[in-house]
Structure 1
Amino acid sequence: MAKEVFTVKMTPLEAQKMIEENMDADIIFTDAYNLGDGKFILITAFDRYYVRSSSNTGLLVICENTTEETLVKVVSTGSGAGLFQIDWGAGSNFTRRIRKILNEYIIKVIDIDKD
C-alpha cells in the first residue's frame, strides 16, 4: 500500500478536476461534501489493471480544505498478487501519477509515516 499527502495551491474542486481529467484510470466512485464557507471534502476512487502484478489496483484520492490549506491525500490498495501480495511497484506507480499531475501546484509533501 503506497500513500502520499501533500498541500497544493489550488482549491479542492480545482485539484479534483485536474486529477480526473488527466488520470489514465477508470473512475469508479466520486463523492462531494460541501461543508459551507468554501470548505469541501471530495473523494474519488480509481481502478487500473497492472500487467506487472496481474491485478487491479485501486486508488483513493481525497481533496479537502477543512483546515486553512488544501490537502490531497492519496492511497493505493489491492495491488498485490500471489501468496505474499507482492505488487512489483504498481501501488507506488499509481500514487506517483497524482503527484505528477499536480506537480506545479504542490507546496509541501507531508511525511505521514513520521512518528
Structure 2
Amino acid sequence: MHAERLYPILLLLGSNIFMTFAWYGHLKYKSSPLMIAIAVSWGIALFEYCLQVPANRLGSAVYSAPQLKGMQEVITLLVFAGFSAWYLGEPLKWNHWAGFGLIVVAAWLIFLD
C-alpha cells in the first residue's frame, strides 16, 4: 500500500484511540463529578482532532469523503471493541459483533465503483 493511502488510515486509527478514551474512558470513574469528566474528555478530544483533521485532509487526496467516513466508522468499531473488552471489562457479545459486521458491510459498499 502506498504511503498516501496508508497515512490517513494510521492517523484515523490514532484519532479513534483518543476519541474512544474521550467518549468512554470516564465510564470507569463514575463517581467523579460530571464536569470533571467533561473537561478531561475535551482535553483528550483535542489530541483526537490533531490527528483526525490531517487524516481527512491527506486522505481526501486519494479517498472520497464518503470513503473516509466509512473507513473511520470501521476503525472506530475495531478500536471500541478492543477498548470495551480491555479497558471497561465489557467484552462484546454475538449480537454486538453481528451489528458491527453489518456496519462493516455498509462501509465496504461505499468502496465499490
* TM-score normalized by the length of structure 2: 0.30
Which has the larger share of strand? 1
Which has the larger share of helix? 2
* TM-score normalized by the length of structure 1: 0.30
